Structure 1
Amino acid sequence: MTATVSERKPAAERIAVRCVDSDVHPTPKAGELTPYIPEPWRSKYFLTRRVGDQIYYDAPDYAHAYAMRLDTFPSDGNFAGSDPDLAFKQLIMEAGADIAILEPAAYPARFPEVNHAMSVALNDWQANHWLDSHNNWHERWRGSICAAIEAPEDSAREIERWAGHPYMGQILIKAEPRPAWGDPKYNPIWEAATKHDITVSCHLSRSHHEELPIPPVGFPSYNHDFMVTYSLLAANQVMSMVFDGLFDRFPTLRIVLVEHAFTWILPLMWRMDAIYEARKSWLDIKRKPSEYVKDHIKFTTQPLDYPEDKTELTRAFEWMECEKILLFSSDYPHWTFDDPRWLVKHLPEYAREAVMFRNGIATYHLPETVPALEGQVRVF
């Protein structure tokens, strides 16, 4: 008996994009990523370590579900987020996302060369297991060009390698390595990004102990303390980019801060603007700091800081001009998943379309239409 595989083809009819999800986490199946890691690092570094042994994250029921939605684990025994078809069913068909930005993650090594090797592997793996014609037949996935920011020259070459790929939607870096992003050592990455007009995104990650956000009084005692400090890490990168003149050097650069929260940007903009007014003659930047933020930096909605008095959140949305700087994100398949149909209800009505899809289309240069899918839930 001969088995036949029917070719997957998108529908000829197209529908308007009404929900762009800026934070979705694909995971390699067991053994799937290893062949893509270049030598000598595959043998010297990664094959001597069990993936997962170094992860620390005390989310509720972590020992059982590893901070993932229980229903996102596929039936074949692999990890949550490893099955493109299940993710398509849950996120696209049932939750209503029209385009999803994939952001693979890997625990960092202490050597720039090893982090670069992992980035190379993740990029090849995405292209062959998520963005190929079999798994992206519906044209809903967009990948991330993973780049080891610690190795700027290598990362620039990796960006060049993938810049022409039709489904690579952004460049993905980490925020922990020193120095801050305003330092000229990172110019090769910004040059490659602006040359090809690709957005640079940074997702919250778990780095080595000495690279975690360090408040002035020292390391936090518990994980819940540490989770709050991650906004401090993003805030310091924002200040570095603004005051070190990054956006004057690269006036078309676009940055997205993913899962670092966002309500903190309002008082930070106020404070930066006040310092700017008081010390304008000492600074080389050309505009108010808040103007750079609103023109160059975006923030994702998850995690949503939700006060008991919802009017406080509404005022914060208005004061920060959320319609200019926010992108919807779900954080699928994590337990902190925000369903777009839930999130949209908490946005000011005037900002809903901007946050849910217009900003995403503009930020990632996405198409305004996608192939229709029979039975797909629609957020709008």
Structure 2
Amino acid sequence: MTVTAGTQARDRVPPTERIAVRCVDSDVHPMPRRGELVDYIPEPWRSRYFLSHPRGEAIYYDAPDYAHSYAMRVDSFPPDGEFACSDPDLALKQLIMEAGSDIAILEPTHGEMRLPEATHAMCVATNQWLANHWLDPHNNWHERWRGSICVAIEEPALAAAEIEKWAGHPYMAQVLIKAEPRPSWGDPRYDAIWATAVKHDITVSCHLSRGYYETLPFPPVGIPSYNHDFMVTYSLLAANQVMSLIFDGVFDRFPTLRIVFVEHAFTWILPLMWRMDAIYEKRKRWVDIKRKPSEYVKDHIKFTTQPLDYPEDKTELTRALEWMECEKILLFSSDYPHWTFDDPRWLVKHLPEHAREAVMFRNGIATYKLPDTVPVLEGQVRVF
């Protein structure tokens, strides 16, 4: 007998019948229940750092309804009073059964600590927690969840070791880093991370982070004052990392490396490609890369659809999507359980028709090396 979403499972065994994957969601945020993560944090960091450093609210996060639901969908909080997306069964019901995603890439929202060793300790704990509470046979019986190997890019040797530790896990689909730490990614100090990812043929994704003080994105004019400043700043941060990856030769050193920018928006990449190509054309005698910058973007880099910049004139977005060849660089993402959640049935209608299958599932399958079928779940909504 198989489980029905929203009911207690008696025998969590996937059905033998399988169905084609038609929606890959590349940005879903599982959260630990209260106290669930603490025991996974290695000592001495558990006692001397995380349990002895109480801190208040991040006042720069002012999303709608933040005081009430912490910017989450109010219906994503489970009945037991725990945090949004802390119940794998409720997430299965809302995201898979009702919204129609077939496979979801889980990205725990760990932040940047002021001490790199503390960030690494949190990553170690997060990876073990995710494996035990979401990717285990009890909670991933349906084979719809895929995890992220969280690493501290500030500690390249430790990050590479963490990738080695988890790369063989059947449900770990990507490495997850942050873009805020300095220097930029083209610096050779990070080569151990790229080399290990390439060795295991695993994608490296970067999700925006809300750290503390100097771990926040830092524009040349100084720290922004409000949340809306920060949200735009993340795109500028991603643009600088794209330029560093290309002009510092990372993709020439690692020709099979795949990078995904999650929740950094994407409409800015079109003018950036134009600008990089123009500079390259005029100065390629002095630039030590082998191809036009836009070619590296289209072959090595992907962006998630959420947040979707949606102008009043929809045709403007359609033209931009076509000009940037969105079928080559975009991955569908919902951002569940945040209030900004994009339902895949809504999003697909706003893509050019010729790009819909590529963005909604084909690119996801190729980027994360996913199976093209999953066990049938009776009653699941289908996007296509």
Q: TM-score interval w.r.t. the shorter chain? A: over 0.9
Partner of 2:162: 158
The one-letter amino acid of 2:90's match is L
Partner of 2:61: 57
Counterpart CA distance in 1 for 2:67 and 2:378 is 38
Counterpart CA distance in 2 for 1:71 and 1:214 is 34
- Is the Cα contact below 8 Å between 1:54 and 1:107 reproduced in 2? no
Partner of 2:202: 198
After TM superposition, the structure 1 = structure 2 runs for residues 61-80 of structure 1, keeping only pairs within 5 Å, are 61-80=65-84
* Residue 141, structure 1, aligned to residue 145, structure 2: yes
Partner of 2:328: 324
Partner of 1:117: 121
Deviations 1:136-190 (A, max 9, x none): 0000000000010001000100000001000000000000000000000111110
Secondary structure, aligned partner of 2:236: helix
Compare 159-168 and 203-212 and name the one that shifted more: 203-212
Query: Normalising to structure 1: TM-score of the pair?
Result: 0.97
Query: Normalising to structure 2: TM-score of the pair?
Result: 0.96
> Compared with structure 1, are the counterparts of its residues 325 and 8 closer, same or farther at alpha carbon in structure 2 (3 Å cutoff)?
same
Q: CA RMSD in A?
A: 1.3
Counterpart CA distance in 2 for 1:117 and 1:315 is 45
- Is the Cα contact below 8 Å between 1:213 and 1:232 reproduced in 2? no
After TM superposition, the structure 1 = structure 2 runs for residues 11-50 of structure 1, keeping only pairs within 5 Å, are 11-50=15-54
Note the C-alpha offset of 1:51.
Answer: 7.4
Partner of 1:104: 108
* Residue 344, structure 1, aligned to residue 359, structure 2: no
Gaps of 5+ in 2: 1-7
Counterpart CA distance in 2 for 1:312 and 1:25 is 31
Which of 287, 291, 295 in structure 2 is aligned with 1:287? Answer: 291
Note the C-alpha offset of 1:112.
Answer: 1.2
Counterpart CA distance in 2 for 1:92 and 1:307 is 29
In percent, how many aligned pairs have the same letter? 80
Note the C-alpha offset of 1:226.
Answer: 1.7
The one-letter amino acid of 2:342's match is D
> Compared with structure 1, are the counterparts of its residues 129 and 52 closer, same or farther at alpha carbon in structure 2 (3 Å cutoff)?
farther
- Is the Cα contact below 8 Å between 1:294 and 1:325 reproduced in 2? yes
Note the C-alpha offset of 1:61.
Answer: 1.3
Which of 210, 214, 229 in structure 2 is aligned with 1:210? Answer: 214
Counterpart CA distance in 1 for 2:168 and 2:55 is 31
Counterpart CA distance in 2 for 1:316 and 1:5 is 46
Which of 207, 220, 223 in structure 2 is aligned with 1:219? Answer: 223
Counterpart CA distance in 2 for 1:200 and 1:370 is 23
Secondary structure, aligned partner of 1:119: helix
The one-letter amino acid of 1:291's match is E
Counterpart CA distance in 1 for 2:307 and 2:208 is 11
Deviations 1:55-92 (A, max 9, x none): 74100111111010000001111100100000000000
Secondary structure, aligned partner of 2:205: strand
Note the C-alpha offset of 1:52.
Answer: 6.8
Gaps of 5+ in 1: none
Aligned residue pairs total 377
Partner of 1:258: 262
The one-letter amino acid of 1:145's match is I
> Compared with structure 1, are the counterparts of its residues 36 and 188 closer, same or farther at alpha carbon in structure 2 (3 Å cutoff)?
same
> Compared with structure 1, are the counterparts of its residues 55 and 198 closer, same or farther at alpha carbon in structure 2 (3 Å cutoff)?
farther
